[in-house]
A and B are shown apart, each in its own frame.
Chain A
């Protein structure tokens, strides 16, 4: 099994689990789902620069400055930004979820229990 296959499967499982939890329509599950989804996104962005084991994104002396000798640094910068943003958004969601639970008396995403 290649590294790419394992990596792609991991992204797929995380994204699938994330979407499944999103559809459960309870605030806690939704937040977990969004978190899993953001993990999947971060791995995906990271892989957009190609998986290159053993190569660094920093220039080294004696190694010619071509992308073939290094790994692409830009996706790593993108992932860092995305991690920061998704962490902040998760915090906002948590505050909202707690507030909604207190104000509406239920953790359903619609703010009321679904009718049977």
Chain B
């Protein structure tokens, strides 16, 4: 195993790739076997991420030069504390998603587990890569897999939303490549550390082109992350996805946010000269607008899962506000909130699926039908609603209060407090309305319903998935001080682009044992 140690940064890409390829070949194998293989691969991925996390704690930054090419010529993978945090969150969500899918969703098509592993590969690669074009490639890998997962067990509505989703993302990919081309033509590199060094030394005459490239990239990331003018696709797409796919989608929006932190923190970071903080002011205001409109959208949403889609958009808005403040403390608070809100959204999507199956009218928020097992589902609903809206016992409250208490520079106080508190209230109202419609406002005549057989109790795997996510919520809340210390460390690491440049550009390829 010690021979693998230098390669640990690439293993999170390799493990799902091999698992996915094996699953494609073995797609006629019994479902139980494919399930076990896929779960084992995710478990292995979890161990790899744990090892990578320890290496990052030990060394600070783990740099991996793919193919042992020097950094200026090849692709570089880089793991820092933020990347490890996202990977850990991804593994937890992937586990939950797979357990839930083993309830029934993965039996509807031959390739669920293969697509799932390829999507994990794309996500892991996008979190680890330190090269702009490689980021594009991993975006395409995860998107291609997500098209398949979104349409898995298809229906007319899923096809319709899937078509919109695919077209939007293909246009975004084209814009991504335009941005890459602009940046390469001026700066002559796509390595992020190298880009940041060259942006800092940019002659004034070439500034407008780089600026244009920077803004083009923001459009792409904003579409993935659902920032203000570009979020309209998200609620309906997420509402149409099956629950296991929706869990992974919950972290895909966070990938857009992660890319913004990476690119605009490093390439257009504090020492980028006149281009420093290129998009920061816009992020704050666009985030405020996103959160506000999403809260209104949640209020107006006719279905529970549509409402959940708007909650995801709203949490992205709060995160963008935290980023737009541009301080370490704000970023750390935002990262804590990111972990918590992702877990809460994922758990809520599972509950949304249960609600849909336990009621004649699905998850429509009208007086259509009574709920089967109201106490059991309602209990989960109350807990998750408190977590999602940010009520005290849960970590969402801590994240928001950290943001409000410590992160406010002068001038932004009124907007930040107004938007964060106002949208929390609106979300709470929306959730309370949804809960009372779903669980309390049953139509008067329920005899027909009582005569009908109860829907089957959620399968064992589905309950395990839910408990895992709720456990994650409880852990991030109970161990808040450890988690905040970790995210504060991540933010501090991110605030020093120079260490990234030294780690990436100052690193020589490993000595080779093969004679040349």
Contact = CB atoms under 8 A, between A and B. Distances in A.
B55 interface: no
A93 B159 contact: no
Interface string B167-184: 100110110011011101
Contacts of B171: 22, 34, 37
Contacts of B184: 45, 48-49, 74-75, 78
A71 B163 CA distance: 39
Contact of B159 (A22, A45, A111): A111
A50 B181 CA distance: 11
A30 B181 CA distance: 24
Interface residues of B, number: 27
B156 A103 contact: yes
Interface in A68-116: 74-75, 78, 81-82, 85-86, 88-89, 92-93, 96-97, 99-100, 103-104, 109-111
Given A22-B167, A37-B171, A45 B180 contact: yes
Given A44-B177, A89-B140, A111-B163, A96 B151 contact: yes
B133 interface: yes
Contacts of B174: 34, 37-38, 40-41
Contacts of A100: 159-160, 163
Nearest to A43: B181
Interface string B132-172: 01000100100010010001001110011011101100110
Contacts of B274: none
B163 A45 contact: no
B166 A99 contact: no
B147 A92 contact: yes
A96 B185 contact: no
Contact of B166 (A74, A93, A104, A111): A93
Contacts of B133: 78, 81
B72 to A, nearest CB: 11
Nearest to A77: B133
A96 B163 contact: yes
Interface string A1-41: 00000000000000000000010000100100010011011
B137 A81 contact: yes
B177 to A, nearest CB: 4
A48 B185 contact: yes
A67 to B, nearest CB: 9
Contacts of A34: 167, 170-171, 174
Nearest to B176: A41
B159 A104 contact: yes
A104 B156 contact: yes
Contact of A99 (B140, B154, B167, B173): B154
A13 B133 CA distance: 25
21 contacts: A30-B167, A34-B170, A41-B177, A44-B178, A45-B184, A47-B185, A48-B184, A49-B184, A50-B185, A78-B133, A78-B180, A82-B177, A88-B144, A92-B144, A93-B167, A93-B170, A96-B163, A103-B156, A104-B156, A111-B156, A111-B160
Interface of A: 22, 27, 30, 34, 37-38, 40-41, 44-45, 47-50, 74-75, 78, 81-82, 85-86, 88-89, 92-93, 96-97, 99-100, 103-104, 109-111
